[in-house]
Structure 1
């Protein structure tokens, strides 16, 4: 196992460095800077390519450093076949996306900000797939949600963009919290916090009674991130982002994070009946829903977005299917999808950039004006349709080979795969053929001189299309470097992938023929099919997307009502609720768990002067209760405080006694100064009923503190802290007075907080006592005082 070098860490950080320098470079040198910014992910791609021989030989690359050893927390990285393939897709396609953005966003005043977000997004996804520690995985997981929020809402002046960004953040952010809980479960079940070690703890996890809880929480994170039904709705709405974002989001980054997580945890959570039921069912349902909804769309980006939902469903279905070669099929399709979907999205952006529209019912005849774009579109569509000689054909054949068995379960999911692939066949060629074939329509081009787009824009889809072509032609090399290591990493053992372009007369080939025939039939009747599908969904009513709006609106209304209930604007309400909760916390555990203390006996050896000061404290208490106004009550409150301070002194705690004297003196003086500025009569505005209720709460709090202190005093004294402070106060803090050392050194931060509270309180009091009422006071000042007096009378202060 090879250790990560500093150059690898630099490669991981390069997208973030590029994001930092993108805005100033764009401002200084203009859109041509895209070539410079593309060097950041390009070097990362080159660096990770150097690991291909090591990974192909079955090795792995690790690195990182310990952060909190006592909690087994670390910043660590792990590169195997799975993470390396993802890293190469992210950095390779990311390089093309940066170049494409330079042409697409040319002249845009916020191009620098856009490229900054793109590179941040790239860095977040790269960190996610390379993370080994749970901590890093979660941080980068949430960072992808935040950066996608920035990208989807890039055109923040439009309400639709803001709504789509918020929707994506809420859905994927909520899933992230589920993932965090799931990782904590796995940590407690296995005692490890590294994904590379978790692979070897599968038996422990599957045997745990908490397996189901951990599985459902992890699936919650993965399903929301990878837009599985019923969380699929956020992904098509994310098309409000500029096209480079859509191309990157759908091909190599965030939406595949959930699939990556399921593949990574397959050796740990997979192999159970629940895994092989939930993943195929939800994946198959997502495949059908996404593919059918794609038929309804007329916008090129929306058509491709819904087929991404379908493709993600197919990936999840294959990851959890559990048959031989199912994982290999998922791996091949993941690579194929990244290549053809990234290219087709870039084609959609090119068409929109040149023709000024993405409406497939209007577009036609662009082939002569945009021949390179048409060639790139055709490459992507053929691969998406699963036709030779492109990589998509290998994936489709492997999918049918893994699914086609004799049992009922296999037959059902085979039918789902055939229908889903046929529908994606239709959409792929609808995007690649309808805008380019036919007689050009002049009204499309009005105001647009349609011609081939700039090289920055057609380079990306052309490179991805040719990669899919040569990857299939040289499938032996592709499998040795990518497919086999990735499949082996997911399976947890070595599994060789051998799919090739050479046809075999078997059931998978027959299913491919059925897929093509069904796809051609649906393509020829696409207009009618689209109309019928649209009519069906209109009759079906609002879907999850509208449900999200209702959920958000309901949450806001609930929050408003809760806020109005717990924050009515009355200080006495806040104080009452606080003390009620305090009484519950103190008393309920004592009575429920039988922790009541033994009642103390009256001390027979009590001295007269001790009893005298105790009686003075009691007299002070009754003086407070019987006071006719607040000023008298405040002064009486000091009586029992001073009596308690004397008791501290008598029982050998002079430091504590001195502190008590100071606190009581300041409290009486400060409160008296404040109260003299307010109207102090009548002393109590409460009704008898409210008085009895407040008295009950006060007695309950007092009783709770008394019982808790008695119970504490009856517990055997643990002098561990005493010994520690006695041993180290002088040797570490160089202080002979243990109490002072505790306050200033060992509890220095706590003391600083207390001082800050006193300072803020003093400033507030100063503001109050500066309000003066005199015979010559200005009317405005008198109004202020009267307002305060009225508020005080109503119990708000």
Structure 2
């Protein structure tokens, strides 16, 4: 199992070094990778069909409760078959579609990385492991969406997708941490035994909020849907794989997997029904307003994802069986339509449905694939899509009277729009006469079977499964629905349910959708309407927030990160004075014990006077060299104080550091430009007040420390154990070398970095014109 999951990562790593081998005709061999994984999981089909499940565990970070725990059941098997099955077709398709591309090896490396991430996501039993693979899908999809990185729009789309899904991943991690804290485990199987307690937990509402944000962003639910149409800038094989069968369904998988654990609750059901229902109707309506084939498919995909969220929100047996069925239905026809779209674009140079027609004469097999996919999308009887749509209507019709009519109406209207969208992509480009603009355009008279065969195969499967629904039902659907329901769903798929209201609604959907297809043609919106819609759309609002954030960041940076060291020191000092001062004056009973003070002796007064004079000179001098000398005098005065009070070792250390610092400062001074006096009277007054405040605060803390009881426990520990544990009699040395070895090593690193900085400044060659 571990090899199957990691195979994509291994392939991506090997392609980094061996990619040149697979840039030519040998690229087709890479399709054997997902095909091999697909065949491996076929081995488990008999047992999964018998209702069994499999668990695999490999140690990883057991101290943190994170192991490579994988669980294979009906739900994960359904997604594994989509990831590897459709993945195999996309791998072969891409070998012909991107033939001769200079970055073909890079494409397959990204695709393999994504496939491994998706496999790990749907098979992981540990929620922290799910999060790791979840983020890997976001990162790998970022590379795939931005594959054409020489195009500004591709780069923007990739960044948008990464920003939206990455933000959702942050909230998903928060949800997982809360779930682990509430249940005491990170295993999904273990959590199922405490599902009731988790729903009663005070963090339940917060967990749902964070989980929904993660799932909705990944599966493009309103208002986070706008990244998906932009992601269509990616090459078509990527769109067919990520945006029909795999990545966008990661959020659906997450909701389905956690339905037994968090579902069947008012908050869960109501939220998913509302968000999913609105998304499916909103996106379906937008799909009929588009003319670009990939844009049409993008919005119809969003609508289909909304349908799945809607069904999971309803949560009845009918709904969960319908959801499991529609996952497979949608993957088959949508992947086929994407592949057809890619061929049309590849051969004609356009995806505008107004500029296409009659292509069945040039590409009969592609037309066949488009027809089959469009008919399954429409829900024509004897196709798998018909069974999927019937189950949706069966679900809504089994609800209460208040919800039944409203939700059924929304479902019917959405499916009418989706039928129109499917016909626009799968049928319209192939019927009618060939436009004059295409007649003169050169094209391949014969297509590689690697292009049209995957699309035809997906279309044929849609018909085969429609004629024999017991095949997908017994192999995948029933067991996936059982896993979501966490029980037995005795609702077998059938071709015919008799003459009933469900059949009437299906017929009405077909007739209305076909009528709309012949009667309606989308028109280009005026520039004013487009501008207004862009402003109020979720994408426009998000971009407006981003622009405001960027403006605030610019102003903030100009104020605090202005390039002057004195500004940084001032900011840090003010923050410390405010924070420490507030804590000190609100929690400490300030008392000063003057009786313990000793009289000031003459030599102490002299050293104090020298120090004060040196400080004044440092502050008010206009010469950098004089300032350095004055600072050194302050340091030497401190050395004398150490000597007077019996700390010669500290005095020698202080003396050495001060001397070295003065020498380095003088050497650096020679290379720096002239002294710049950019302070005015207000700035000097401000700096003086901050310095006095900071000094006064430190003095008060010191005076308070003199009367506070000292805790000798730590010092006694070091004194008692220095020789026993470290074999050293000098306690200070033992502390630095043994007890605080890591800290000392970090200090050495800091000094090394500082030395490198000084060396760089010494080597700095400043031009005479830069010294002014």
TM-score (norm 1): 0.87
Residue 633 (structure 1) aligned with residue 625 (structure 2)? no
Match of 2:754 in 1: 761
Distance change (3 Å), C-alpha of 1:482 and 1:712: farther
Shift in Å at residue 656 of structure 1?
5.4
Match of 1:526 in 2: 520
Q: Which moved more, 1:496-505 or 1:304-313?
A: 496-505
1:91 to 63, 84, 87: 84
Asked if the contact 1:22–1:37 (Cα under 8 Å) also holds between the matched residues in 2, the reply is no
Match of 1:795 in 2: none
Alignment partners' CA distance in 2, 1:239 and 1:588:
54
Alignment partners' CA distance in 1, 2:604 and 2:505:
94
Q: Secondary structure at the match of 2:55?
A: strand
Distance change (3 Å), C-alpha of 1:452 and 1:533: farther
Q: Secondary structure at the match of 2:215?
A: helix
- Give a deviation string over 1:515-545, Cα, whole Å, max 9, x none: 1122122112132xx2398999649622333
Alignment partners' CA distance in 1, 2:352 and 2:516:
19
- Give a deviation string over 1:320-378, Cα, whole Å, max 9, x none: 12334212211111111111111111111122223333222232222243222222222
Q: Secondary structure at the match of 2:130?
A: helix
Alignment partners' CA distance in 2, 1:42 and 1:680:
70
Distance change (3 Å), C-alpha of 1:68 and 1:597: farther
Q: Secondary structure at the match of 2:523?
A: helix
Asked if the contact 1:634–1:672 (Cα under 8 Å) also holds between the matched residues in 2, the reply is no
Match of 2:274 in 1: 281
Match of 2:558 in 1: 564
Alignment partners' CA distance in 2, 1:781 and 1:38:
59
Distance change (3 Å), C-alpha of 1:755 and 1:539: closer
Distance change (3 Å), C-alpha of 1:203 and 1:646: farther
Asked if the contact 2:215–2:254 (Cα under 8 Å) also holds between the matched residues in 1, the reply is yes
Shift in Å at residue 466 of structure 1?
2.6
Residue 300 (structure 1) aligned with residue 297 (structure 2)? no
Match of 1:792 in 2: none
Shift in Å at residue 481 of structure 1?
2.5
Shift in Å at residue 707 of structure 1?
4.8
Alignment partners' CA distance in 2, 1:496 and 1:707:
77
Alignment partners' CA distance in 2, 1:681 and 1:358:
65
Distance change (3 Å), C-alpha of 1:722 and 1:414: farther
Q: Secondary structure at the match of 1:251?
A: coil
Q: Which moved more, 1:427-436 or 1:278-287?
A: 427-436
Aligned residues: 761
Alignment partners' CA distance in 1, 2:340 and 2:152:
26
Shift in Å at residue 238 of structure 1?
1.1
Match of 1:261 in 2: 254
TM-score (norm 2): 0.90
Residue 399 (structure 1) aligned with residue 392 (structure 2)? yes
Aligned-residue Cα RMSD (Å) equals: 3.2
Residue 624 (structure 1) aligned with residue 624 (structure 2)? no
Asked if the contact 1:350–1:453 (Cα under 8 Å) also holds between the matched residues in 2, the reply is no
Q: Secondary structure at the match of 1:223?
A: helix
Match of 2:486 in 1: 492
Alignment partners' CA distance in 2, 1:409 and 1:90:
35
Asked if the contact 1:125–1:254 (Cα under 8 Å) also holds between the matched residues in 2, the reply is yes
Distance change (3 Å), C-alpha of 1:22 and 1:677: closer
Match of 2:499 in 1: 505
Alignment partners' CA distance in 1, 2:408 and 2:492:
21
Shift in Å at residue 240 of structure 1?
0.9
Shift in Å at residue 66 of structure 1?
4.4
Distance change (3 Å), C-alpha of 1:256 and 1:29: closer
Q: Which moved more, 1:551-560 or 1:317-326?
A: 551-560
Match of 2:694 in 1: 701
Asked if the contact 2:229–2:295 (Cα under 8 Å) also holds between the matched residues in 1, the reply is yes
Shift in Å at residue 415 of structure 1?
1.0
Asked if the contact 2:23–2:102 (Cα under 8 Å) also holds between the matched residues in 1, the reply is no
Asked if the contact 1:291–1:307 (Cα under 8 Å) also holds between the matched residues in 2, the reply is yes
Shift in Å at residue 727 of structure 1?
4.0
Alignment partners' CA distance in 2, 1:237 and 1:619:
71
Alignment partners' CA distance in 1, 2:754 and 2:382:
77
Alignment partners' CA distance in 2, 1:695 and 1:34:
71
Alignment partners' CA distance in 1, 2:47 and 2:31:
26
Alignment partners' CA distance in 1, 2:465 and 2:709:
74
Q: Which moved more, 1:565-574 or 1:61-70?
A: 61-70
Alignment partners' CA distance in 2, 1:656 and 1:378:
87
Alignment partners' CA distance in 2, 1:456 and 1:209:
55
Q: Which moved more, 1:448-457 or 1:65-74?
A: 65-74
Q: Secondary structure at the match of 2:375?
A: helix
Q: Secondary structure at the match of 2:352?
A: coil
Distance change (3 Å), C-alpha of 1:571 and 1:716: closer
Map 1:719-734 → 2, pairs under 5 A: 719=713, 723=717, 726-727=720-721, 731=725
Gaps of 5+ in 1: 1-7, 773-779, 788-797
Shift in Å at residue 210 of structure 1?
2.5
Shift in Å at residue 678 of structure 1?
7.8
Match of 2:187 in 1: 194
- Give a deviation string over 1:720-763, Cα, whole Å, max 9, x none: 686378548754x5655443343234433332332233234344
Alignment partners' CA distance in 1, 2:633 and 2:700:
25
Alignment partners' CA distance in 1, 2:325 and 2:418:
17
Alignment partners' CA distance in 2, 1:14 and 1:757:
42
Asked if the contact 2:639–2:652 (Cα under 8 Å) also holds between the matched residues in 1, the reply is no
2:319 to 315, 326, 329: 326
Alignment partners' CA distance in 1, 2:442 and 2:250:
39
Q: Secondary structure at the match of 2:52?
A: coil
Shift in Å at residue 429 of structure 1?
2.1
Shift in Å at residue 670 of structure 1?
4.3
Shift in Å at residue 57 of structure 1?
3.7
Shift in Å at residue 450 of structure 1?
5.2
Match of 1:17 in 2: 10
Shift in Å at residue 460 of structure 1?
1.3
